[in-house]
Amino acid sequence: MGKYSTSAEWADVVPIPQNDGGPNPLAAIAYTEEYSEAMSYLRAVMAAHERSERVLKLTEHIIRMNPAHYTIWLYRANTLFDLQKQNQSNLEEDILEELKWLDGISLKHLKNYQIWHHRQNLLSALSTLPQTELPFLALMLSKDTKNYHVWSYRQWLVRHFALWDNNTEITYIESLLELDVRNNSAWNHRWFVLFGRDVDPKSGRGMDEVGNIIDEDLLDREVEFAKGKIRLAPQNQSPWNYLRGLLRKRGSLLECKEFAEEFVGDAEGEGCRSSHALDFVADCWVEKEEKEKAGKALELLAKRFDPIRRNYWNWKRGLLGLEAVEAGPLEA
């Protein structure tokens, strides 16, 4: 006898068992009896379109057994909103109460997408950001600073609540980069906060590309910020990509050519401290139409400093009309 079949609260419900294709299914999933019973009762209440407190308890029970079941999360959200309308209760208070419960589930299942979609559904119904939300996200990211689901949700949060000018976001990002300058997720979020609102949702193009004025002071500040982080770890690709993105908004890499040359050593690559700097310098030479110098930089990358991607560097040489180079001594 199960939890629900012996409960007076559920005596009026006729459970609907899972149909795996007849009495002898080809590949039936070996669910536990507890899970099978709970799902049988959920199918019954869903078929009856029931929205009630007992349904919330049922969905909580199933979620604790299987937090990746998207249908359960969706039905729970619909039940919450319907109950709020039926009871005429305070929507914000109801959502905050749900968030408290959800926080515990989130901390137990760090990489669960459905949890974050449910959280987004909840906050979509609010006009202001709860004070507890950003501290909770900081707690989540302290467990895993590169949790994709948390970062994706945080980007949605910034856009939904218009946090573009909220210094809290930039301050928080800078604290993460102080801890780990190689945190590519933090670099990505910094770009999103500073430049994401300038993206045209319809075309996907930056607004500066379709006629808006570029904020030169912002670009100057961010160029210097990227340079400072590059000096800390020259072989860290993230700030080099960030720097390229900034300079692309101005249409040229050349203003930082001398900076990049600080890390590439001499013409033969002696003293080179960053393959990313060498790649940057190669693109600067291409921009200056100095294809032989660009080709030499690409040759050094292919032979000595990034031979694992030799085919890529040779492809770039081919774009310049130059021949492919063979494996260097470090790869032989």
Widest distance between CA atoms in the chain: 84
Query: What does the DSSP assignment read for 156-170?
Result: HHHHHTT-TT-HHHH
pTM, rounded to two decimals: 0.89
Per-residue pLDDT tens for 134-175? 999 999 999 999 999 999 999 999 999 999 988 899 999 999
For the question of residue 291 being annotated catalytic, the response is: no
**pLDDT score recorded for residue 213:** 65
Q: Are 118 and 77 in contact (CB under 8 A)?
A: yes
Between the CA of residue 195 and those of 131, 147, 188, 280, what are the distances in Å? Answer: 25, 22, 10, 22
Average pLDDT along the chain:
93
Catalytic residue among 57, 85, 108, 111: 111
Q: How far apart are CA 197 and CA 162, in angstroms?
A: 9
What is the phi/psi pair of residue 112, to 5°? -105, 115
Nearest to 188 by CA among 252, 239, 117: 239
**pLDDT score recorded for residue 209:** 56
Per-residue pLDDT tens for 44-64? 999 999 999 999 999 999 999
